[in-house]
Chains A and B, each alone.
Chain A
Amino acid sequence: MFLRPLAVLLVTAMASLVTAPATAHFLVVHTPKTALLRGEDLPFHLIFTHAFAGEPSMAMDKPERFYFSRRPAAGEPSEEVDLLPYLQAIDWQSEDSRVPAWRATIPRNLVRSLGDYQFVVEPAPYLEAGEDIYIQQFAKVMVNVGGVPGNWSETLGLPAEIHALNKPYANWTSGVFRGVVLSDGVPVPFTQIEVEYLNHALDVDNRRFEEQGQITAPHPSLEAIVILSNAQGEFSFALPKAGWWGFAALNVGPTKEHAGKPLSQDAILWVQVTDLPPLTGTRP
């Protein structure tokens, strides 16, 4: 009399867990390659989605800001270059419909100089109707040209930001990535960071993610991996597979309300991971 209803409840709950989509929203800021020997035209796609699952993707308004920050020379302040004029609206496949997303091609003449380029997207707040909250994800991705380091370790004063302690474009598989979660420049202790693998390759010709993912996770906790920053706001994560890993520190920005609803200002940082090539020659 007691066990059956309980069993039904458990089965129902488990079924909903199994079928529920991952809840981690990720602003994907994608360019194919971040460690370049020479400057070249850089294609970008900006898609608000669920990184591991590859869907659903959400409608994305034109970002409030899209720019890169670059330090022209050691000892000089970094300079920002506005990239909003390069944005083009596209539609991106999301389940059975298409949603607004963005693409851009940054011309070589803007990114030909040696050094680091911190690309930043500051989106408009997105109303997540299911949770009745706004989400605003400040997203960074870094590109290096020619191997000369630049401002990769500088923070940019974003409301929510991940301060990289490793170059995000220079990571071997199994290496450890480290960062600090910042709220208005102040480290955030013991805050939650979601880590997700960009599991579905971009099919840019058809403006969709490929249906087949790279990984099948055996458990939801391995799709959106949750870690905490330490008492100093620092975190570390060993990168187990080549490709793109996204770090999202949730609701760390100082503004907590937008248009009369709760606002989550999140910090996103994308890290590109490279497989160690086969060893050649005699091991020293």
Chain B
Amino acid sequence: MIRQLLGLYLLVGWGTAHAHTPLFDCFDNGDETLTCEGGFSDGASAEGVGVRLLDQQGKVLEQAKLDARGSATFKRPAGGFSVVFDAGAEHQITVLGDDIS
């Protein structure tokens, strides 16, 4: 996640979106589900932002929109996967399944 955040920050760091950096993380709930949370560095709500659960080939397994608390919960897939926070072309963050604990 850190690499993704840094990469994204470099991408937008000098642009007009500097004050509105997207932030995202996922947690394993210990019950075969995972919860992902997103937000922005200026405190803006991420409600309605799309989140996609992808398998290793990039196939969409599940998708959802973040709720009013910037949160969405998925069933944890077997095998490798990733989760993408998609708030627009310059506001995407990917968290790898291996980094979710």
Interface residue from B2, B23, B42, B69 paired with A73 (Cβ < 8 Å): B69
Contact, CB under 8 Å: A148 / B39: yes
Closest Cβ–Cβ distance, residue B63 to chain A (whole Å): 20
Interface residue tally on A, bucketed by range: 10 to 19
B44: nearest residue on chain A (CB-CB)? A74
Residues of B close to A72: CB separation below 8 A: 69
Contact, CB under 8 Å: A37 / B39: no
**Interface: A33 (CB within 8 A):** no
Interface residue from B23, B41, B45 paired with A74 (Cβ < 8 Å): B45
B38: nearest residue on chain A (CB-CB)? A114
Contact, CB under 8 Å: B70 / A147: no
Instruction: Given A73-B69, A284-B14, verify A149-B41 contact (CB < 8 Å).
Output: yes
Q: How far is the CA of A75 from the CA of B46 in the complex (A)?
A: 13
Residues of B close to A157: CB separation below 8 A: none
| Count of residues in B whose CB is under 8 Å from the partner chain | 20
Residues of B close to A149: CB separation below 8 A: 41-43
**Interface: A146 (CB within 8 A):** yes
Contact, CB under 8 Å: B70 / A146: no
**Interface: B40 (CB within 8 A):** yes
Binding site for A on B (CB under 8 A): 1-2, 5, 14, 21, 23, 25, 27, 37-45, 68-70
Binding site for B on A (CB under 8 A): 37-39, 72-76, 112-115, 146-150, 284
Would you mind naming 17 contact pairs between A and B with Cβ atoms under 8 Å apart? A37-B1, A37-B2, A38-B1, A38-B25, A74-B43, A75-B45, A76-B69, A113-B37, A114-B37, A114-B70, A146-B37, A146-B39, A147-B21, A148-B39, A148-B70, A149-B41, A149-B43
